[in-house]
Chains A and B, each alone.
Chain A
């Protein structure tokens, strides 16, 4: 019995949530567009998984697919979402809706537009409460104020009566966080929650998400393009490039020895990690147009290590040591390319 608990803690336990072979395509005027291509990831209770990539890599599509909020132009072509062992594909719309906001919640990128502009903050929280818990309105109101207070909003009773435009950006994001965490969801998706905020407010919001997440034992999928945020928040990292997952590793491993040239590029374009005086290494080129994807490895036109093989053969995600996986023909990079570098 005791051994079992130990083995659970060692990571053998079933993940809280997993994405298996997920492919999502969008119908566009110029034909279907594959936004997510065979993506796999899993997250354990209490864990923070960062999903990293440039704009257009499919990060936001991934988060919407997990929440079941894809726009009608998008279709899930293949794959499964598993929550606590249950396949979400088997659920009807009503059951899926019942999970949203209760079992899984989401914090969005733009706090200025993510709140309903014509409803009071408190009323929006009360709505969130009453959607999943039947209780008298007065009680829900009290709970809304409590939730606002828990996010560190000063004089929460006053703020609850305010309209969104009367609050600062940081305050709005706190309100949205309060709303997302009000039912203590086991899975939280944070889609670039600090991108639209001032740097000083960013740090506060990150602390808040981490602290509240820890308090409630919430597993967090943190979507970002900012490697600094990843370093601060993540236990594990999954790197997306042009709709495919190219690398996944523990955060500490990813920062010390990235196993995909794209990750290397992402780290090179992060100012803090560079030695003083050393030039920053931006990734050359731009994210490819999803409709005209390069052959073979999608990254090869921008890859400093690309060889002929990369243009022809698509690399699969291969397992390396310590749970790392990379979709590069040359992983592990140091051993294969050590001579060149």
Chain B
């Protein structure tokens, strides 16, 4: 298992380098010029050229990339060209709210999806099943920004929830009321796919041979479902949840922007719009590393849940 983890770590490093390169190059071809942005509307051509030299923007692209990697490795992700703030510090400040948002979204969405999927699998073909599937297809097809906008409409009219920003730590009433709308909007992305996957795998495994064996032992139906059918059905579900977290990160970018949630996603969008190179690069690298980290975690979970995985290699 440890050998596999090291292997995963090495491949992840390669992927991460690729991410750095793509993020770097993408921002190279974007027409926005950071030197112009720093110089401001009154900046003269001489000032702009001086800034370019100062930032190293007049050097070859490849050299700029090598410098960038060097800096990232030493923990320095540069400074914002807009407000001269440290990118690392900004990311560190934004990471908390993003993790918070993702966690709350998953905290309600995963159990809900599992519950709906189990219900649908147990009453397959019934009204509950069809309802659950209809809702989950809806959840898959409706884009998160649309749901977010509808929620803002609703909240603005009823004044039931605050629609903008973060209200403070989760354990305060203000913090809780602020996170509800974005977390619900974001979590909706997860419910559909996970509910469908749960329904499919569980309704298969409910009639698997080993589940029949459990029934033949005299296990109660609840025990059969939870300890045997769901236990084996869980493996593809865990994998799916891991993959969905990637989607969730993407959704977080949109959700944070809509609800002005002070997270990494909004930071990325904001800095791209403002032409803030170092900040955008930092945010992209951060999101990509988060995705890679999540994938490794999912692998570990899968390995713990299924003893056969370790044995195959």
Contact = CB atoms under 8 A, between A and B. Distances in A.
The answer to whether A and B belong to the same complex is: yes
Interface of A: 67, 69, 71, 97-102, 105-106, 108, 110, 113-119, 127-128, 131-132, 163, 165-166, 176, 179-180
Given A117-B308, A118-B307, A166-B311, A105 B216 contact: yes
A118 B306 CA distance: 6
Nearest to B219: A131
6 contacts: A67-B216, A69-B215, A100-B217, A108-B216, A131-B218, A131-B219
B212 A100 contact: no
A117 B311 contact: no
Interface of B: 207-210, 212-220, 227-228, 231-232, 235, 305-308, 311
A114 B213 contact: yes
Contacts of A132: 218
A278 B19 CA distance: 74
Given A71-B207, A113-B210, A118 B231 contact: yes
B218 A110 contact: no
The prevalent SS among residues of B at the interface is helix
Contacts of A113: 208-210
B218 A98 contact: yes
B218 to A, nearest CB: 4
Contact of A116 (B218, B220, B232): B232
B10 to A, nearest CB: 28
Given A99-B218, A131-B217, A165-B311, A69 B210 contact: no
Nearest to A104: B216
Contacts of B215: 69, 100
Contact of B218 (A100, A115, A165, A176): A100
Given A165-B308, A166-B311, A114 B217 contact: no
A176 B213 contact: yes
Contacts of B216: 67, 69, 100-101, 105-106, 108, 180
Q: Which of B218, B231, B235 has the most CB of A within 10 A?
A: B218
B210 A116 contact: yes
Given A71-B207, A108-B209, A110-B209, A116 B307 contact: no
Nearest to A116: B210
B212 A69 contact: yes
A244 B215 CA distance: 27
Contacts of A165: 307-308, 311
Contacts of A127: 214, 217, 219, 227
